[in-house]
Amino acid sequence: MQIVDSQMHEIGPRLAWENADNTTRHDVLTEIMLGWMDAVGVDAAIINPGDAPWLMTAMAQFPERLAGVFHVRNLDQSDVEQRVAQLMTTPGALGHRHTFGRQPIDPNGSNGREKFKADAFNSLFAACQKYDRPLFCSAYGATDLVGEAARTYPRLRLVVDHMGIAQPPLNPHVPEPWRALDDLLPLAALPNVYVKLCGAPVLSDQSFPYTDVWPHIHRILRAFDVTRVMWASDIGRFQGRIGWSNEFEVAHGTYRGKHNYAEALRFMLDTDQISESEKEQLLGGTVRRFTGWKPRARPKEF
């Protein structure tokens, strides 16, 4: 089984780098990423980078293991389509990502919702549809907007990140977090909407193997089928290891649902809740087919 993590960020080391240049930082960062992946048995990963130049170099060095989805900044500029088209020429650049739900700088998501309603994202939606570029959407509390985009742009392939559920540690724990699925599941009627199954362990009331999350995951699988659901760890977020600054101190200590990379994978890989063929789809098959990426399997000695 070839395992692909469909979302990671840079796992930045907690070190003082006063005397290090960017080349050294980038080399160390690449080694750390690959080391984490090797340690748990992940063959390949799709990175959403904060440091795009680092990922461009790393993808060129390890095209069989690392790929990326990239934010398109400054959507009010007139060259959005040009930038989307240009990124298509970069090997390993598989698509784009954007946020219009709740986030630390927009806690209730009102700013993103206002921009959406003002058509601020339409240039990105149109360009991704034109060039058949997948768009991954962080849309906490705004999955209805993903549905609107999917209906308006029926050939635009959209992924709802994190199951559309705001999750600790960057968001506070709320009672009955799985109620957000009531907004997500109707989107299964739209064939161009997919789901990233990410962060389920942090929503569990139990320890590993998080058995209590499976009734909720089964709801997602019944609605979307395994062919439209892809596993991701987003482990940097849960470990507080995103980028060089590690600015998310809330993730460094103990919090409800904290888990490590191995637990993020093994609760799915070792379960008897789904079949082996379903695991093959969720843990790599869906995202490879969705993005068209063909990473090379790791040598068996790993």
User: Could you identify the residue written with the tokens 């569990």?
Assistant: 204
pLDDT digits (tens, 9 = 90+) for 19-31: 888 898 899 999 9
Q: Which amino acid, one-letter code, is at 69?
A: V
Number of Cβ within a 10 Å radius of residue 42: 25
pLDDT at 246: 78
Q: What is the pLDDT of residue 292?
A: 96
Contact 129, 155 (CB under 8 A): yes
Q: What is the pLDDT of residue 82?
A: 96
Distance, CA of 60 to CA of 74 (rounded, Å): 26
| Residue spans of the chain under pLDDT 50 | 302
At position 245, the amino acid (one-letter code) is: S
Q: Class of 4-291 per CATH?
A: alpha beta
CA dihedral 114, 196, 165, 254 (to 10 degrees): -120
Phi first, then psi, for residue 6 (nearest 5°) are -90, 5
Whether 261 and 235 have beta carbons less than 8 Å apart is answered as yes
Q: How far is CA 169 from CA 211, 241, 280, in A?
A: 21, 12, 29
Say how far apart CA 293 and CA 302 lie, in whole Å.
21
- Residue among 259, 256, 253, 135 nearest 198 (CA): 259
Q: What residues contact 31, with CB distance under 8 A and at least 6 apart?
A: none
256-277 pLDDT, tens digit per residue, is: 999 999 999 999 999 999 999 9
Domain regions of the chain by residue span: 4-291
- DSSP string of 17-64? -TT--HHHHHHHHHHHHHHHHHHHT--EEEE--SSHHHHHHHHHH-TT
Q: What is the pLDDT of residue 89?
A: 94
Q: Give tens-digit pLDDT for 137-153.
A: 999 889 999 999 999 99
Residue 226, classed as helix, strand or coil, is helix
Model confidence, pTM: 0.95
What is the pLDDT at residue 302?
A: 44
